Structure 1
Amino acid sequence: MDDNKIKLLDGSYGFQLNKHLEKPVDHDPLWSSRALITDPEAVIKTHMDYIHVGVDIIETNTYQASIEGFMQYLNISKEESYKLIQKAVDLARMAVDQCEKKGYKRPLIAGSVGPYGAYLHDGSEYTGTYIQHVSEDTLRQFHEPRIDALIKSKVDLLAIETIPSKKEALVILDVVRKYPDIKAWVSFSCKSDGVHTNAGDNFSEAAVEVYESDPAQIVAVGVNCIAPHAVEPLIQPINQARDKPIPLIVYANSGENYDPKTGWDNNCEKLEEYIPTWLNLGVKIIGGCCRVCANYIEKIKDEVDKWEAQRNK
């Protein structure tokens, strides 16, 4: 990846996917990954929506995908579950190939690796409560096969995302080290206090420790799935006293609040207004998370293009 150019990531997969489905994926224990088996064509179209607006990276539809989850909720075997994760990569590649034939830029494919809490389907990736009672061995056994499936399907890199704790991030990276040729980013889910991950770690310290644990494989560290106004205080300390800045990644939500019982509150911030500040703080990969659709990614792209034009004057 070119270190100088800002990379544009896609936005919310589930939110965009809903535009192609009769029944929304919200509240499904498998979230958008159920569509891998029920509506693969919609999965391809969703990827294409983001490629059409000029993203540099798309993520596979595997955030909520796991061997255990597919076995439990789809009643399929371990082998079939593994292959379904690989199918997600195939569908992303089909979208890329179809768009390339029509003259669109070919983006990288990042294999999405969500936290153990996403499999629990209780919102605990936003609290990190499971970290206190789930062992490192359990986390490792959960993540190993899904990471193996993504890498063996030849994703370009891994998107380790919405991770609420340093503990889980380091366990995942321990698995990733078995594949020295793969690159990855690590993005945490954080509290809106501007200091802590959702599990209570100091975010900036955790981000630095995670990056320094393997700078050869980690292309960026940062935060996702958070309101835009909460981003700056989290990332600002990371590069404050460093001669060589750590590359950062940010993909914030629309700014609406989510309650597992009542859903979204429709109170949006103007995410695009925050982008120049984040880029000035060392963000190298930028996109959107919950409720940020392809049209919104176009607005983000416009802001990035303006910032880069100003920088290159």
Structure 2
Amino acid sequence: MRTNFDEVRKQKDLIILDGAMATELEKKGFNLNDELWSAKVLAEHPQAIKEVHFDYYKNGADAGTSASYQASIQGFAKKGYSAREAKDFIAYSMELLIEARKEWWEKEGKSQGRIFPLAVGSIGPYGAYLADGSEYTGSYSVSEKVLEEFHITRMEVLKEAGAELFALETFPCLYEAVVCANMMERMEADYYISFSFQNGNQINGGNTIKECVKALNGLKYIKAIGVNCTQPQYVKEIIKNYKEVTSLPIVVYPNSGETYDALGKVWHGSKEQITYGEWAKDWYQAGASIIGGCCRTTPNDINQIYSWYAKEHQ
């Protein structure tokens, strides 16, 4: 059983994404202070990843995202895995997501009248592979050829494994987003692009929302554009600025409100006093069509979104 973005959009004006994978894996006792991040668990304890996917579906997610954000051929190679093993791990990330969806659907989803969720393939930026914090700044400078060679194999593997939509997410720079968008277009694969932002109008690499939209305008397979891995207080302004220059659906899934030290790989501060569900309702009213959570968000945060939306649309 499969679905696609357009079918899900026909059924709901708000698609609820899942939340953080790493946060839940750390709660289960896994140490993710590693260059592979959650992809390390993909290789060593895949059942734990499947359990997290199931929990997000159970708590209201209309779309689950594969644990492939930091999974790449090159990243696994640095850890001593062969290219064949790396491809198998990347494919497995999508297979686990789809298995969790099937199990949840048969046990709960179908009887609850929920929609059949999307299976989304996560593609993180080149900077995530570098594991030096540059995924949050876009400070890496590599050629288009290097970016294509880095991304294309895992894109193809995820598509073959069943990805129904791609999330090009946490992209700090427009240049890489355009390169990856063009690869998606050649693959004829549906996708959305989500940038990380430094304020209400500029992505971390410095480009404005208007510049980003202009560079991506007219592409056939792009389904949404938006923001993730960003402080939640910027999101409402980001939605407003997007809506002024594009008719594409807006996707938002910021962090919980804590601040990440990319070099020390630790979080500081605490969540905002306002609940995540309250934030999300505000973003929905501002015009967001796809809402979920990024770093430090939990199944409970996703359930908060599901609960008020379900109550208002009974």
TM-score normalized by the length of structure 2: 0.90
- Residue in structure 2 matched with residue 230 of structure 1 by the alignment: 234
CA 1:84–1:200: 2 relative to 1, 3 Å: same
Conserved? CA contact 2:229–2:253, under 8 Å: yes
Please point out which of 302, 307, 314 is paired with 1:302: 307
Asked whether the 8 Å contact 2:95–2:162 carries over to 1, the reply is no
Gaps of 5+ in 2: 1-5
Q: Secondary structure at the match of 1:220?
A: strand
The 5 Å alignment of 1:247-262 reads: 247-260=249-262, 261=264
In structure 2, C-alpha distance between the alignment counterparts of 1:51 and 1:86, rounded to whole Å: 20
- 2:145 corresponds to which of 118, 127, 137: 137
Q: After alignment, is 101-110 or 137-146 more displaced?
A: 101-110
2:122 matches 1:112? yes
Q: 1:208 to 1:277 in 2, by over 3 A?
A: farther
Alignment partner of 1:289 is 2:291: no
Match of 1:90 in 2: 95
Distance 1:179 1:241 in 2: 26
Q: Secondary structure at the match of 2:186?
A: coil
Letter in 1 for 2:123: V
Distance in 2 between the 1:157 and 1:184 partners?
5
Show CA shifts across 1:35-81 (max 9, x none).
112101101101111011121000000000000001112x1111221
The residue aligned with 1:160 is 168
State the AA in 2 paired with 1:18: E
CA–CA distance in structure 2, aligned partners of residues 172 and 143 of structure 1: 8
**1:189 lines up with 2:196 in the alignment:** yes
More deviation, 225-234/159-168:
225-234
| Deviates most, 270-279 or 220-229 | 270-279
Matched with 1:63 is 69
Q: How many residues align?
A: 298
* Cα distance in 1 between the residues matched to 2:16 and 2:281: 14
Tell me how far 1:272 sits from its aligned partner: 2.6
Post-superposition Cα deviations, 1:233-291, rounded to whole Å, max 9, x if no partner, equal: 2221222366xx32100001100011132611132113333323322332111000000
Of 17, 27, 30, 1:23 maps to 30
CA-to-aligned-CA distance 1:169-218 (integer Å, 9 cap, x gap): 110011111221x2111000110x222111111124303532x241x311
Distance 1:282 1:208 in 2: 20
- Deviation (angstroms), 1:24: 2.6
Query: Residues 204 and 234 of structure 1 are in contact (CA less than 8 Å); yes or no, is this contact kept in structure 2?
Result: no
Q: Secondary structure in 1 aligned to 2:187?
A: coil
Match of 2:84 among 75, 79, 83: 79
Q: How does 1:25-40 map to 2 (within 5 A)?
A: 25=32, 27-40=33-46
Counterpart of 1:96, as a letter, is: R
CA distance in structure 2 between the partners assigned to 1:88 and 1:241 by the alignment:
35
CA distance in 2, matches of 1:208, 1:12: 30
User: Which amino acid counterpart does residue 261 of structure 2 have in structure 1?
Assistant: D
Tell me by how many angstroms 1:14 deviates. 0.7
Look up the match of 1:8.
Answer: 16
Which string of whole-angstrom CA distances, capped at 9 and with x for unpartnered residues, describes residues 68-104 of structure 1? 001112x111122112100111111111122122122
Write the deviation string for residues 86-130 of structure 1: whole angstroms up to 9, x where unpaired.
011111111112212212243111000000000000111111101
Is structure 2 residue 220 aligned with structure 1 residue 205?
no
> Residue 244 of structure 2: SS of its match in structure 1?
coil
Instruction: Decide which of 172, 186, 198 is 1:178's aligned counterpart.
Output: 186
RMSD between superposed Cα atoms in Å: 1.7
Bigger drift between 296-305 and 81-90 goes to 296-305
TM (normalized to structure 1)? 0.90
| 1:47 aligns with one of 39, 43, 53 | 53
Contact 1:190 1:203 in 2 (8 A): no
